[in-house]
Structure formats: C-alpha cells, structure tokens
Amino acid sequence: MVTVIESLYLTCILIFCLYSDQTALYIRMLGDVRVRSQVGFEPERRGSHPYLGVDFRTLHSHAELVGSIPARRIRRLFSFQRHLLTSRLLRGTPHLSPLHFLDEDYCGQAKVAEQFLVLCSPLFSGNSLISLTLYLLTHYGLIELFQLDMVKVRRFLVLVQEDYHNHNPYHNSVHAADVTQAMHCYLKEPKLAKSLTSCDVLLGLLAAATHDLDHPGVNQPFLVKTNHYLAALYRNTSVLENHHWRSAVGLLRETELFSHLPTEDSLNMERQLGSLILATDISRQNEYLSKFRTHLDQEDLCLGNTSHRHFVLQMALKCADICNPCRPWELSKQWSEKVTEEFFHQGDIEKKHKLEVSPLCDSETNSIADVQIGFMTYVVEPLFAEWARFSDTRLSQTMLGHLCLNKASWNAMQPEEAEGEQAAATEEPSSRALPQGSQEC
Ligand SMILES: [Zn+2]
C-alpha cells in the first residue's frame, strides 16, 4: 500500500512538473509509468519464469533468433553470477582496427555522422561497440592508467556487445556505439575536458557503452502492464535503467575488470556508473534539466567540485543518448525510422495481446513525423539549448542548427501526408548544407 501511495505521489510530482500535456505524453512514452499496473505486483518469478507471459521476443520476425532464445533466457537468469562463459571470448574476439575516422578535433556533427556511418560498416563485422570502446580506452590511456588487464577488458566488451539485442531496431549495440562516440565528442568539449579526471572519462565511456545493456526493445510502461519481473524487482521505478546498470555491474564482476582495485574503489565505480546510467531515464528529464538550468542561471557550476563534475557528466550522457535529432538529416532520419519502428513494433504486440496500446506506439494513428516533432520539441530541444549554453562551442551550435533543420523537415512532411499538397515545397533537406556552427532556430 505504501508503494502505491509513494508511486501516486511521485506521479503527481511528475505531472505537476510537466509543463505541457504534450511533454507528459512523450515522457510517458519514453519510460515513465510509476503508478502500479492494474494487474498489481506478483512475487518475483525470475527463477521460475524469467520472461513475462507476453513474450515479445518471439514476435520479432527473425528466424535465426528462434534457436537462441532459450539460451539467452538462461543467461539472463545468471546475469549477476555468470562464470562459465569464457568460450564466448574465443568466438567473439574483436578485431581492433585503427579507427582513423574518430573525430579527434570534434569539428562538427557532419564529421560525427561520417564516423557513425563507418561504425555501421561491414568493416566492423557487427563489432563496432567493442572496437570503438577499446580504441577509446586506449586513446585516453585508461588501460595503462588503471592497469586494466587487456584480456579482461576485451572479454568485458565482448560480453557487453553480446548482451545488446541486435534484433532490436533501435536499442542495439550500434546505438550503444553511437552514444559512446557522441560521449567522446562531449568529453572533449574544452570546458569539460580541462576539468575531467581519468576516472570521470573511464566512467563516462563505460556508462555510454552499457547504458542500454540488455534492453528488451519495449519501454517501462510495457514491462509494468505485462507484470514483468523487472518491473516488480525495481518497483516500477527506472526499471530499464536499473536493469542496464545492474547488468553492467554483473559483467564487471564476472570479468573481474576492477578486481585489482581496492574494494571500496571498485564499489564506488559501480555506484557512479549507476548514477550516470540512471540519469538517462527520460522520465526524470525535467528534474535534471531544471537543476542544470538553475546552475547555468546562477553561474555556479564549479567543475573542480566532484559532484558538479559528475552532474555535468550525467548531462553529457543524457545528451549523447538522444542526440540523433541533432545529426545531419540523412542520418537523423534513419535513426528516427528505427526508433519509431521499435515503438510501432511494441504497439503491434500490445494490439495482438489485447493490451492498451502505449502512446506513440500505434502505427495507425501516429506517423514518424508526429513522433519526431513532439520528441524534438518537448525533450531534445530544451536539453540541447541548455547544453549549448553550458558548452558554448561550434559543435553545440551546429547540433542546434541540425535540430532546427530536421524539425522543419519533419514539419514539411506533415501537410504532405495529411493533405497531399505542397509537395513541390518539400525539398529534401539533404541538399541544404548547414554551415558549421550555424544556429538557425
Ligand atoms: Zn540509449
């Protein structure tokens, strides 16, 4: 009963904080249902039945997955105590390529986009997350500094990549690699770079690489309403983010990556990793954003202060996680299609099982343009406006410029879809070059 009251209280606060119904809609869609589902809690049943009655995995139309599902389920059961997977290291050893494409001079999003296209390339044989993270750990000198065992590092990254579900249209290891890439760019922003410690950088990169670990391809409301064991385990609060964090900790412990560090230090790393990953819970967007805004208004962010620096790292990771609308159109559009495909897939499952269709998940009543315009307006734009105020660089201004152009492009597609007119006016935005550092909004 206390849980219900607490949940309702949190929900009231959340609703009170929301500055419009539209925002609420996007927040709800993107993760937050803190009220107890009508089905109610059941005892955790992870041990006897790891997945919910509605097994959304089997509904993905990938024949090759059918045989692997039981194995995946069993592995999840032992996500905190897995010790017998060494053979995966042998079959998944990444090929470390010299990543010449990295945006060392972070000269703009266009270049970031090019890098991402390379990340997706067959060159990496699906190992972009492993290769990129390994490269960045080396690039920042973190392996030497923290005296990390290279075999353990590789094994950890192989397991991380494997624990992403690559049949998810959006929340897969390429998204994790993309976020890690973006995080690298933000860590190199001059204001941050000059203050960050090696530990901050290590945590920032690890958090980016693991921030969606074992994402099931559906959102929190889905897990709550289907009475998934994870929703019960984390009491309907930051369910996915808690699971991503705990899964990452499971892999850290399994691979003993930090076992040579004093226990207190490794526990502290785990806690900070959690704090970063939990910040990506989009339902807490307003909480983080208003705190950030207040700091910027009062000009009292002191990056020499550990907690302030950690807070900015949280904001950087939040930006990295949702920066796709700030990319050049061709790339941004692809990500938009992928994420909407995942939403609509969830909606299809909900329809199939006679569940209420979650907001923005109904392909019959929503379009990609609808979803994107709302997301950009109520979630991305406010965050990146503050980030640009903080970092005040050409990169952040360029990102805002792309955001503005992309939103205009989605808007231009709206009347075309609805009224079938003004087709001539809908110019493919790819032909519109955005000058670096421009801000057109
Ligand atoms: Zn993410």
Amino acid 11: pLDDT: 38
Q: Percent of the chain, pLDDT > 70?
A: 66
For the segment 170-215, what is each residue's pLDDT rounded down to a tens digit? 999 999 999 999 999 999 999 999 999 999 999 999 999 999 999 9
Amino acid at 61: S
Residue 387's pLDDT is 97
8 alpha carbon – ligand 1 mean position (Å): 27
CA of 262 to the centre of ligand 1 (A): 31
CA of 87 relative to ligand 1 center, distance in Å: 28
- Residue-level pLDDT at 284: 95
Query: Which whole number is the average pLDDT over 82-101?
Result: 35
pLDDT of residue 333: 94
pLDDT(54) > 90: no
Cα(249)–Cα(258) distance, integer angstroms: 11
Question: Comparing 100-109, 377-386, 413-422, which segment has the lowest mean pLDDT?
Answer: 100-109
Using left for φ > 0, alpha for ψ between -120 and 50, and beta otherwise, residue 354 falls in left
The predicted-structure confidence for 331-360, as pLDDT tens digits, reads as follows 999 999 999 999 999 999 999 999 999 999
How much distance in Å is there from the Cα of 416 to the middle of ligand 1? 31
How confident is the model over 97-117, as a mean pLDDT? Answer: 39
Q: Which of 75, 40, 2 is nearest to 254 (CA)?
A: 75
Q: Which residues are catalytic?
A: 171
What was the pLDDT predicted at 414? 79
CA 347 to mean position of chain CA atoms: 20
Compute, in angstroms, the gap from residue 287 CA to the centroid of ligand 1. Answer: 18
Interatomic CA distance for residues 203 and 144, integer angstroms = 15
Q: What is the pLDDT of residues 9-34, one digit of tens each?
A: 433 333 333 334 444 444 444 433 22
Q: From the annotation, which residues make up the binding site for AMP?
A: 171-175, 212, 321, 372
Q: Which residues are annotated as a binding site for Zn(2+)?
A: 175, 211-212, 321
Tell me, in angstroms, the distance from the centre of ligand 1 to residue 335's CA.
12
> Ion ligand 1 — residues with CB under 5 Å?
212, 321
Average pLDDT, the chain: 76
How do residues 263-308 score in pLDDT, each as one tens digit?
999 999 999 999 999 999 999 999 999 999 999 999 999 999 999 9
pLDDT digits (tens, 9 = 90+) for 242-268: 999 999 999 999 999 999 999 999 999
- Tell me what pLDDT residue 48 has: 25
How many angstroms is it from 367 CA to the middle of ligand 1? 21
Q: Which domains does the chain have, with CATH numbers?
A: 4-59+97-320 (1.10.1300.10)
- In this prediction, residue 419 carries a pLDDT of 52
Identify which has the larger pLDDT, 111 or 435: 111
From the CA of 418, how far away is ligand 1's center (Å)? 31
Annotated binding site: 171-175, 211-212, 321, 372
Task: Give me ligand 1 centre to Cα 342, in Å.
Answer: 13
> For 208-228, what is each residue's pLDDT tens digit?
999 999 999 999 999 999 999
